[in-house]
Amino acid sequence: MKIGIVVAMQKELNHLLELAGECIANEIFGNTVYTFENYPDIYVILSGVGEIQSAMACSILLSTYKVDRVINFGYVGALCADLEKGEIVNIESVIHCDMDLTIFGKKPGQYDELTTVEFAADYGFFDHLELDRKKLSSSDSFLDPGEERDNLMELFGKNVTDMEGAGIAVVCTKANVPFSMIKCVSNAVDDTHEDYSEFSAEGIKYCAELVYKTVFAID
C-alpha cells in the first residue's frame, strides 16, 4: 500500500522527518516531496498553508505517486470549549465552510453535486489511538473570536478548524481515495491569533509520533 502524507508547515513536519530517518527531498510545482530509504512506499509532501495549496499537494500524491491513502496531520484551532491546547483529535468528517451556493437553494457548505455538507474521513484508521473524534470546519480564513467566527460556529457546529482539510477532503473524495486526519489543538476556543503563535511544541511532536507509529509501522 502506498501512503501519502500532507503537512502544511515545516514546524509541523520536522519531528516526523527526524523519526523517519534518511530521506530525499524533491521539488514538484513548488511543493517539497520527501521519500525515505527505509520506507519506499511512503511519500510526505509539504503543501504550504491554505485549501488550494493542500488540494494541489494532494493531487500530486495521487497523480504522480499513485498513493492508495492520504494522511494529514497538523494544527487546528478549537471551536469548542472541551479542548485545550496540545490535545490530539481524530477527524471524523470535513466541512468546507467557504463553499456557498445558498443563493441556489443549497445548504451552507454544500457542493452542487452532493447531498451532504460533510466529507467523511476514514477515522477508523486512527481509532486504535482512542482519541476524541471531531468534525473539522475548514476555510481559508483565520478567525479570532468575534461575530464572524460566531456565525461560522452557528452554521457548522462547535468543531475544530483549519485551513487545509477541505482541499484534501474534496480531492480524495473525487478520487475515491480514503483520507484520515489527526490534529493537534494549537489554540483553545477563547484564544486569539496571538495565542496561536505560542504553539504547543510537545503536542505536535506527539501528534507526529502517533502518525509515525501508525503509518510507518504498517508499511
**DSSP-derived pairing of the beta strands 42-46 and 31-36:** antiparallel
* Helices within 83-212 (DSSP H only): 147-156, 165-175, 193-196, 201-211
Single pTM value for the model: 0.90
Alpha carbon distance 14, 103 (integer Å): 43
Residue 180 near residue 69 (C-beta atoms within 8 A): yes
What class has domain 3-218?
alpha beta
**106-154 pLDDT, tens digit each:** 888 889 888 888 999 999 999 999 999 999 999 887 766 667 777 877 7
- DSSP state, 131? P
Per-domain boundaries in the chain: 3-218
Q: For 32-71, give one letter per residue: b (16+ CB within 10 A) or e.
A: bbbebeebeebbbbbbbebbebbbbbbbbbbeebebebbb
Q: Give the containing element (helix H, strand E) for 137.
A: strand 132-138
* CA 39 – CA 210 distance, rounded (Å): 16
Average the pLDDT over each of 65-74, 191-200, 206-215 and give the range with the smallest value. Answer: 191-200
Summary mean pLDDT of the chain: 89
Closest residue by Cα to residue 186 from 56, 69, 79: 79
pLDDT digits (tens, 9 = 90+) for 79-101: 877 888 889 999 999 999 888 89
Q: Examine the pLDDT at 172 and tell me if it is beyond 70.
A: yes
